[in-house]
Amino acid sequence: MSKTTAESLSEATAARTVLFVINVDWFFVSHFLPFVAEARRRGYRCCLACEITGERARLEAAGVEVFPLALSRGARSLGSFWRAARGLARLIEAQAPQVVHAIGLEAVTTAALGRLWSPRAQFVFAPTGLGYAALRSGLRARALGRVFPMVLGRSSAGRVGWIFENEDDPATFGLVRKRRQGILIVGGAGVDLEAFRPTEFPARPPLRVAQVSRMIRSKGPDLAVEAVAALRRAGHPVELTLVGDPDAFNPHPVPQTTLQQWNDMAGVRWTGRQQDIPAVWASHHVACLPSRGGEGLPKSLIEAAACGRAIVTTDVPGCRALVRDGIEGFVVPTESAEALAAALRRLLDTPGLLENMGHAARQRAVSGYSDRQVAASVVDYYEHLLAAAAKRRPS
């Protein structure tokens, strides 16, 4: 091995900095702290650029250096992305990270622009689904939700790393089969399999169904309410708990008045956001997420699976990546409260089905969806990209 090659490989494995970029601090805390733990375990310095809303102390306690970045989740103009990108480029220049890991479509867009001023850093783009951009109508919205991701993917393929949470999304970014070499597909953000463990089912009847998500239209809580209401009108003992709050930065939050109206219905309860999610699953039989699309891989479904709960969800990217129809639960068509109700009816009426699907769901979670497995894969990917870049560097 020549001296120059040896020096390049040594540089690729020396102590390094990873700069995470995400829209808001609470999202990083709720999903991605295991990435920090694994990166720090391997000697990385961890920085985070995001909008700060109150989680700085928790992040710093985890060993993260936090830097404010105006990545407003409601911003969609080119000017807002451009300003954020310039701010990110200045931060990259000051902190000199070897890896810039952008999480979420807004952060990826900002990082793609920031990369114009920061060509030396290794960028990793992790869109985590398309969110509501995938569901919006109108010419401008379609450009953002469909055309822009493809342009972004094709313009950067082979020069940045890509991390996806399902097998469908790479094509959305123009990463067709011949362009997919080197991308990483992971099991969402993963979950702590020790914290989320199976418990005994509560007594039944009634069949207790929970939807854990933000209360926004794309997650389909209205469909869950409609399905349960129809079952109850037919005399079936089913109850629904909605766990989560509206999201003011989403264009279609469920209004508080609607949530309260649902809460006033017989057999429906809205609790708002809850901290103890394992306790939620301990008191319910079934997880329900009638998503209309835009998912990466919903963490709430992985949590439910880890707790050994059957899942009823819709045939959209991300949801169908985790749940195999008839094994861990049921995958039903989108926009069909009738199909949702029929799936819940089968779980209610078929002896042993809840238990069998719940057991399969736990095994599915164990097979590749632990936060430690995902974090290790992500940091392995950093090291692969850095080593490859070192080999390409002119001697």
* Residue 198 domain-assigned (yes or no): no
Q: Which percentage of the chain shows pLDDT scores above 90?
A: 74
Strand order in the sheet with 329-332: 268-270, 238-243, 207-212, 286-289, 310-314, 329-332
Least confident of 166-175, 279-288, 299-308: 166-175
- Phi and psi at residue 99, in whole multiples of 5°? -125, 130
Domain count, the chain: 2
Task: Please indicate, yes or no, if residue 199 is contained in any of the structural domains.
Answer: no
pLDDT at 3: 41
Residues 99 and 111 in one domain: yes
For 123, the 3-state DSSP assignment is strand
On whether residue 201 sits in a domain, the answer given is: no
Residue 274 lies in a domain: yes
pLDDT, tens digit (0-9, with 9 covering 90-100), for 187-219: 999 999 999 999 999 999 999 999 999 999 999
Q: Do 35 and 160 lie in a common domain?
A: yes
Residue 135 confidence (pLDDT): 52
Is the predicted pLDDT of residue 49 greater than 70, yes or no? yes
Q: Cα separation of 307 and 314, whole Å?
A: 20
Let me know if residue 195 belongs to a domain.
no
Average pLDDT over residues 76-91: 86
Indicate if the pLDDT at residue 139 is higher than 80: no
Q: What is the pTM of this model?
A: 0.88
> 106 and 248: one domain?
no
Instruction: Please state, in angstroms and rounded to a whole number, the distance separating the CA atoms of residues 29 and 33.
Output: 6
Same domain, 23 and 171: yes
Quick one: how far is CA 223 from the chain centroid? 22
Residue 200 CA to residue 312 CA, distance in Å, equals: 19
Of 74-88, 91-105, 236-250, give the lowest mean pLDDT range. Answer: 74-88
> CA-to-CA distance for 328 and 361, rounded, in angstroms?
5
Residue 83, amino acid: R
Domain extent for 313: 207-366
Residue 9 has pLDDT above 50, yes or no: no
Q: Which residue has the higher pLDDT, 93 or 143?
A: 93
382 lies in the same domain as 340: no
Comparing 145 with 103, the larger pLDDT belongs to 103
Residue 62 CA: distances (Å) to CA of 191, 194, 380, 392: 17, 19, 20, 34
* Residue 177 predicted with pLDDT over 70: no
Is 200 among the domain residues? no
One-letter amino acid at 353 equals: L
Q: What is the CATH number of the domain that holds 234?
A: 3.40.50.2000
The pLDDT-based confidence of 81 (bands split at 50, 70, 90) is confident
Tokens standing for 347?
């779980």
Residue 123, phi then psi, degrees to nearest 5: -95, 145
* 11: confidence class by pLDDT, cuts 50, 70, 90: very low
Q: Which of 302, 316, 307 is nearest to 368 (CA)?
A: 302
Same domain (yes/no): 176, 86 = yes
Looking at the structure, do residues 215 and 332 belong to the same domain, yes or no? yes
- Domain shared by 237 and 385, yes or no: no
Distance CA 242, CA 221 (A): 8
Q: Residue 74's pLDDT is what?
A: 57
Whether cis (ω within 30° of 0) applies to the bond prior to 170 is no
Domain co-membership, 110 together with 211: no
Q: Return d(Cα 146, Cα 108) in angstroms, integer.
A: 15
Residue 318 confidence (pLDDT): 95
d(C-alpha 395, C-alpha 385), whole Å: 18
Average pLDDT over residues 42-56: 96
pLDDT, tens digit, 9 for 90 and up, residues 313-371: 999 999 999 999 999 999 999 999 999 999 999 999 999 999 999 999 999 999 999 99
Q: Is residue 197 part of a domain?
A: no
137 and 285 co-located in one domain: no
Predicted confidence at residue 181, as pLDDT, reads: 65
245-283 pLDDT, tens digit per residue, is: 999 888 899 999 999 999 999 999 999 999 999 999 999
Asked, for residue 118, whether it belongs to a domain, the answer is yes
User: Same domain, yes or no, for 221 and 333?
Assistant: yes
Do 107 and 53 lie in a common domain?
yes
Is the Cα torsion angle 374, 376, 379, 381 positive or negative in sign?
A: negative
